[in-house]
């Protein structure tokens, strides 16, 4: 018979003491390393308590499968307390990110139709390619300007602008013009606000929402200010589209954007549309841009892999006569390279679900309503799951053999990432276009680690060189 819950290994008795120790050893920026160490110490399952939050942590794909297969139709993940606290404090509506139960489900089903369904997604290709082409044009101009036949820089901010431009093009059907020399200060403020919002979340991650609102710390005030800027900028964009739609300034011939289509369907209240569109706009900046930065870094360090990908892309281009939709169907290795990037550099340190029924994990009984976390970062670097995990080897995803619950970077099931298809397309098209035009290089000597800043990001600037082919 399975072992009882109380016998799980781990430190789960003294929540506040654990939180204090965690804070003292610099845990805030090292959640991913601490988890990896705990799996070493306790094995493939451990129980933990930080502040008021208790969880069970797992690392194996098999356990992840058990967890997700029991998640039911209304899956819930850990609700990030400062995000909830902000919305309650300002009386802002929740979007799908924070809604639960049937309210989440009905919004999510409507959104899926306009954001995830294969038919709609194909329509994003021209919009996202266009932004990619602008990035290439800009990169060429920068090469020109340098007078040195290459462009070397920390691309963080360039990629933030690329990512915001991309997600806004599909959301609003309009260009912001962020890849020009002049950048709209409002857009820049939005980008800075999203980074600040993530950055100020992690120190408050393990404190209950009710406490946060009454704690008038600098972190909380900065957090509120960041969300205020995010909501007000998103509102401006949304109002613009709404006005254009009412004045019939939108041409119904071309694709009008996700927001327009949601409004015209008239199935969701405008406030709910606004809340979720705001979340998508904010969710579309740091996630894809950081992943692209990591991808270029890995390709720069593995010139052989880079050449293989370039050969694949150029062959696909020839065969499809430049038709991007067709090209996307044949670039298997490039897609694997993105998966491989996210294995080593996931955006989310864990995936989480509350159990709804009793499940058995590693032969322990886990009762209903337990928060279970899949250690995504730890799994990606576990040699039991991925042999020679430190090697960047996209081919591993194409080799024969089971890949059951190994590629979980966007989560799983009905609650998986809403922006998944946008993110994937945006990254595939960007990398295709870069590979067609530039060689990616980096200084080999610099080791880059990972830092937890709510999402996982590089711990120091990455300098990359783009050299025209």
Q: Which residues bind ligand 2DC (CB under 6 A)?
A: 77-78, 80, 97, 205, 279, 282-283, 287, 347-350, 352, 417, 454-455
DSSP conformation class of 257? -
Among 8, 97, 328, 431, binds ligand HEM (CB under 6 A): 97
Among 234, 262, 273, 423, binds ligand HEM (CB under 6 A): 423
Which tokens in the block code for residue 172? 């609003």
Q: Closer to ligand 2DC by CB, 74 or 205: give it.
A: 205
CB within 8 A of 159, min separation 6: which ones?
Answer: 289, 290, 292, 293
Instruction: Tell me the closest approach of the beta carbon of residue 77 to ligand 2DC, in angstroms.
Output: 6
Query: In terms of C-beta density within 10 A (0-12 exposed, 13-18 middle, 19 or more buried), how is residue 378 classed?
Result: buried
Instruction: Tell me the closest approach of the beta carbon of residue 167 to ligand HEM, in angstroms.
Output: 5
Nearest to 131 by CA among 93, 166, 87: 166
- 457 interacts with ligand HEM by CB under 6 A: no
Residue 295, contacted partner among ligand HEM, ligand 2DC, none, CB below 5-8 A by kind:
none
Stretch that binds ligand HEM, among 35-43, 142-150, 298-306, 406-414 (CB under 6 A): 406-414
Counting residues that bind ligand HEM (by CB under 6 A) gives 27
Contact 348, 455 (CB under 8 A): yes
Contact 137, 110 (CB under 8 A): no
- 419 interacts with ligand HEM by CB under 6 A: yes
Instruction: Tell me the closest approach of the beta carbon of residue 333 to ligand 2DC, in angstroms.
Output: 26
CB within 8 A of 376, min separation 6: which ones?
Answer: 346, 348, 349, 350, 351, 408, 409
Rounding to the nearest 10 degrees, give the CA dihedral for residues 430, 433, 438, 439.
Answer: 60
Instruction: Tell me the closest approach of the beta carbon of residue 345 to ligand HEM, in angstroms.
Output: 9
Q: Closer to ligand 2DC by CB, 94 or 155: give it.
A: 94
> What Å distances lie between residue 277 and 24, 49, 234, CA to CA?
38, 34, 8
Residues numbered 102 to 131 that lie near ligand HEM (CB under 6 A) are 108
Residues numbered 339 to 368 that lie near ligand HEM (CB under 6 A) are 342, 347-348, 351
Residue 455, contacted partner among ligand 2DC, ligand HEM, none, CB below 5-8 A by kind:
ligand 2DC
- 418 interacts with ligand HEM by CB under 6 A: yes
**Measured distance CA(180)–CA(176) in Å, rounded:** 10
Residue 80, contacted partner among ligand 2DC, ligand HEM, none, CB below 5-8 A by kind:
ligand 2DC
Cα–Cα–Cα angle for 240, 105, 213, nearest 5°? Answer: 70
Among 33, 77, 161, 396, binds ligand HEM (CB under 6 A): 77
Q: Closer to ligand 2DC by CB, 131 or 348: give it.
A: 348
Phi/psi-derived region of residue 358, left when phi > 0, alpha when psi is between -120 and 50, beta in every other case:
beta
Residue 350, contacted partner among ligand 2DC, ligand HEM, none, CB below 5-8 A by kind:
ligand 2DC
Alpha helices in 284-419 (DSSP H): 286-301, 303-319, 324-328, 332-344, 376-380
Largest separation between any pair of C-alpha atoms in the chain: 72
**Measured distance CA(204)–CA(221) in Å, rounded:** 12
Q: Can you give the binding site for ligand HEM, defined by CB under 6 A?
A: 77, 96-97, 108, 167, 279-280, 283-284, 287-288, 291, 342, 347-348, 351, 409-412, 415-419, 422-423
């Amino acid at each position: 018979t399975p072992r009882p819950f109380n016998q799980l290994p781990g430190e789960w008795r003294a929540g506040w003491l654990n939180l204090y120790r965690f804070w003292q050893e610099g845990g805030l920026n090292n959640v991913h390393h601490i988890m990896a160490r705990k799996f070493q110490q306790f094995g493939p399952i451990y129980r933990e308590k930080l502040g008021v939050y208790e969880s069970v942590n797992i690392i194996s794909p098999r356990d992840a499968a058990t967890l997700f297969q029991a998640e039911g139709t209304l899956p819930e993940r850990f609700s990030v307390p400062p995000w909830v606290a902000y919305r309650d404090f300002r009386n802002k509506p929740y979007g799908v990110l924070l809604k639960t139960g049937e309210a989440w489900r009905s919004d999510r089903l409507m959104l899926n139709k306009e954001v995830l369904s294969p038919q709609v997604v194909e329509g994003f290709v021209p919009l996202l390619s266009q932004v990619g082409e602008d990035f290439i044009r800009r990169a060429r101009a920068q090469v020109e300007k340098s007078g040195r036949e290459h462009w070397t820089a920390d691309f963080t901010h360039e990629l933030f602008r690329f990512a915001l431009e991309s997600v806004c093009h599909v959301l609003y059907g309009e260009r912001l013009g962020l890849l020009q020399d002049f950048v709209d200060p409002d857009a820049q403020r939005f980008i800075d606000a999203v980074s600040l919002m993530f950055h100020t979340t992690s120190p408050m991650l393990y404190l209950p929402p009710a406490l946060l609102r009454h704690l008038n710390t600098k972190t909380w005030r900065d957090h509120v200010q960041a969300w205020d800027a995010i909501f007000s900028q998103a509102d401006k964009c949304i109002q613009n589209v709404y006005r254009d739609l009412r004045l019939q300034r939108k041409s119904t011939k071309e694709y009008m954007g996700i927001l327009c289509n949601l409004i015209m369907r008239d199935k969701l209240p405008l406030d709910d549309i606004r809340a979720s569109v705001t979340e998508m706009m904010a969710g579309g900046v740091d996630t894809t841009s950081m992943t692209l930065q990591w991808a270029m870094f890995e390709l720069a360090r593995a010139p052989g892999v880079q050449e293989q990908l370039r050969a694949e892309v150029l062959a696909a281009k020839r065969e499809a006569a430049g038709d991007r939709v067709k090209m996307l169907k044949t670039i298997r290795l490039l897609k694997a390279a993105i998966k491989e990037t996210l294995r080593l550099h996931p955006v989310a340190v864990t995936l989480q679900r509350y159990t709804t029924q009793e499940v058995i994990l590693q032969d322990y009984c886990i009762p209903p309503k337990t928060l279970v976390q899949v250690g995504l970062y730890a799994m990606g670097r576990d040699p039991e799951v991925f042999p020679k995990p430190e090697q960047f080897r996209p081919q591993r995803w194409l080799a024969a053999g089971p890949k059951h619950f190994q590629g979980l970077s966007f989560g799983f099931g009905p609650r998986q990432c809403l922006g998944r298809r946008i993110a994937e397309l945006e990254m595939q098209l960007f990398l295709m276009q870069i590979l067609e035009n530039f060689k990616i290089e980096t200084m080999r000597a610099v080791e880059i680690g990972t830092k937890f800043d709510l999402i996982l990001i590089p711990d120091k600037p990455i300098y990359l060189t783009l050299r025209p082919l």
